[in-house]
A and B are shown apart, each in its own frame.
Chain A
């Protein structure tokens, strides 16, 4: 059987996801051979040896977090690009991550004085606060987007909102205690290593809710590509589907930001990388594919963040930006300006 380019791409992305997942687990301050990783995972050996406990206590949660966060951010990015019909929209670009950061800053810097990373704050309250933060910013951006019709202005407004909430965060930082500040600064660098199973469960739940809303909105999302008026003429309830998309995006972006920090560029870049491999505008294909692709990309970024043979870990945001920035430049150059 001859496979089409499209089918091949799907298989390649799928295989890459599995390989990256296993590699991600094997790499770290202690290097674990792939064979051992596979053996441990597939025998569900949670025995007492150190390797097994490293794998189950540290590495697997981190890899699973990568998968969930990558998928969630990429779906959020795709939804935003479609909603604004703007190829440069993304949770970090339009200020959603900043909104979440602001709320997290409130919780972390004002709430407690514990010095530990992700302190005694309940993960639920963090998730709720971050989702609320991104949701509110999203609604503000939409309200403004309704008045300014062109893409460039929207991006500039998104940047300004991000800057404004960023400055509020700085004020909070200035006023807060040193220990809290350190935890917050580490959080802003982005990390997938600080999550425990309880947080992963929340992340999974948010991904499932957000993903389900996205999948059940494929009709509206596809029609949205034609513009509000055409979508309406095809029987799409614009207000309702916009609200659903805002809800899904806020849950997805807010949840990830709560537990992993404001991870830059993944949501923006992955939809473009996937469209490059699988040229389609159909969200029925795009949503599953960007979630797999986003998971794979974040696993790769996390692998790159591990300095080989050392316990040093580079900030995740440094790596994602390194990959994301060229993608943005490429998008702008290819479309000769900011348009979809």
Chain B
């Protein structure tokens, strides 16, 4: 069995007459793996995806595996076709297998049903697509790509313009499809947070016109992400926005679990820093969904019921 249904050899892409976007790429997509292709906007992610899908001619080198029975795509362009229903849109996935009469066989119909079930959009099928939300539309487009029954799925920014909930749903779906249906999936995105948590592998577009490949954790630690994204005030290693401890006050925070993390977050956001030997001690007690905070400075003690009350007190301290 060929585990890498899509590979490139010395591939250079771009537009004739303009600077090359990526040079000399040797990439492979493997079955069962979800790859996130990351890089800042405008670096050429869409062009690479379109080149891999055979919609755009490479400047040099080759892509192996271009065929509409090997690759299905979900692009950024929004389909805008009047009263087409979601079901009709999904059924376009079968087009590579149909003759000019576009007559579907029983197996075509069962592939469509299968795709609809995998993406769980059964209740949307009879809706005209102009009634679908952006998130629903994206699910329908993924179902359409699945109906094409290809080993490879290429998705260009499938989570752009979606809210957090829909973004998580789509990324989870893609991960499930890679694992359970053995698909080779490439997702381009410039959204770090989700990609870091869902990808099996990251392709990182670098300013040197190449693609660095690695596990996301390695790329975080060796500074590759910092180099590519040029973060301004965001510390990827902690996953947080950098906070300046502009108040001179250190706080000795005692507690555990989520309550500890979010209290720390609130304190740092407000310019305090956490310091083990600090004079100001803050204890967190959590029992049965209730969290209580107790401040102790020398012999002075005060209790608070919420982080807001706590911050009000501290800001006057």
Contacts and interface: CB of A to CB of B under 8 A. Distances in A.
B305 to A, nearest CB: 51
Contacts of A216: 100
A280 B88 CA distance: 10
Interface string A205-225: 000000000001111001101
A218 B100 contact: yes
A321 B96 CA distance: 41
Nearest to B148: A234
7 contacts: A218-B100, A227-B79, A232-B55, A234-B93, A235-B68, A281-B88, A340-B82
Contacts of A217: 100
A233 B102 contact: no
A230 B75 contact: yes
Interface in B268-283: none
A87 B83 CA distance: 13
Nearest to B145: A233
B50 interface: yes
A219 B100 contact: yes
Nearest to B98: A219
Interface of A: 85, 87, 216-219, 222-223, 225-227, 229-230, 232-236, 275, 279-282, 284, 339-340
Contact of B92 (A229, A234, A279): A234
A103 B181 CA distance: 59
Nearest to A226: B79
Contact of A233 (B71, B89, B128): B71
B81 A219 contact: no
A223 B92 contact: yes
Contacts of B98: 219
A219 B84 contact: no
B88 A282 contact: yes
A216 B95 CA distance: 14
Interface in B28-77: 50, 53-55, 68, 71-73, 75, 77
B133 interface: no
A228 to B, nearest CB: 8
B102 A275 contact: no
B315 to A, nearest CB: 50
A235 B50 CA distance: 14
Interface of B: 50, 53-55, 68, 71-73, 75, 77, 79-84, 88-89, 92-93, 95-96, 98-102, 128, 148
Given A227-B75, A233-B54, A235-B96, 15 more contacts: A217-B100, A218-B102, A223-B95, A227-B79, A229-B75, A229-B77, A230-B73, A232-B54, A233-B53, A234-B95, A275-B83, A280-B83, A281-B83, A339-B80, A340-B82
A189 B72 CA distance: 51
A245 B128 CA distance: 27
B97 to A, nearest CB: 9
Contact of A230 (B79, B83, B100): B79
Nearest to B73: A233
Contacts of B80: 85, 339-340
Contacts of A281: 81-84, 88
Nearest to B99: A219
B70 to A, nearest CB: 11
A232 B56 CA distance: 10
A226 B102 contact: no
A201 B99 CA distance: 32
Main secondary structure of the interface of A (DSSP, over half): loop
A217 B82 CA distance: 20
Contacts of A279: 83, 128
A217 B102 CA distance: 10
B75 A222 contact: no
A339 B83 CA distance: 13
Residue in B54, B77, B99 whose Cβ sees the most chain A Cβ within 10 Å: B77
A330 to B, nearest CB: 14
Contacts of A225: 79, 81, 84
A226 B100 CA distance: 17
Contacts of B92: 222-223, 226, 230, 234
A223 B82 CA distance: 14
B55 A229 contact: yes
Contacts of B73: 229-230, 233
A219 to B, nearest CB: 5
B82 to A, nearest CB: 6
Given A233-B71, A233-B72, A219 B95 contact: yes
A129 B119 CA distance: 54
A145 B314 CA distance: 64
Contacts of A235: 68, 95-96
B50 to A, nearest CB: 7
Contacts of A340: 80-82
Contacts of A234: 68, 92-93, 95-96, 148
A222 B102 contact: yes
A280 B128 CA distance: 10
Residue in A227, A229, A233, A280 whose Cβ sees the most chain B Cβ within 10 Å: A233
B48 to A, nearest CB: 14
Contact of B82 (A218, A226, A275): A275
Nearest to A279: B83
A235 B55 CA distance: 11
B168 to A, nearest CB: 26
Contacts of A275: 82-83
B153 to A, nearest CB: 11
Contacts of B101: 218, 284
A235 B69 CA distance: 9
A60 B68 CA distance: 50
Nearest to A220: B100
A71 to B, nearest CB: 21
Top 10 A-B pairs, shortest CB-CB distance: A225-B81, A234-B95, A235-B68, A235-B96, A281-B84, A279-B83, A233-B73, A219-B102, A226-B79, A229-B55
A335 B201 CA distance: 43
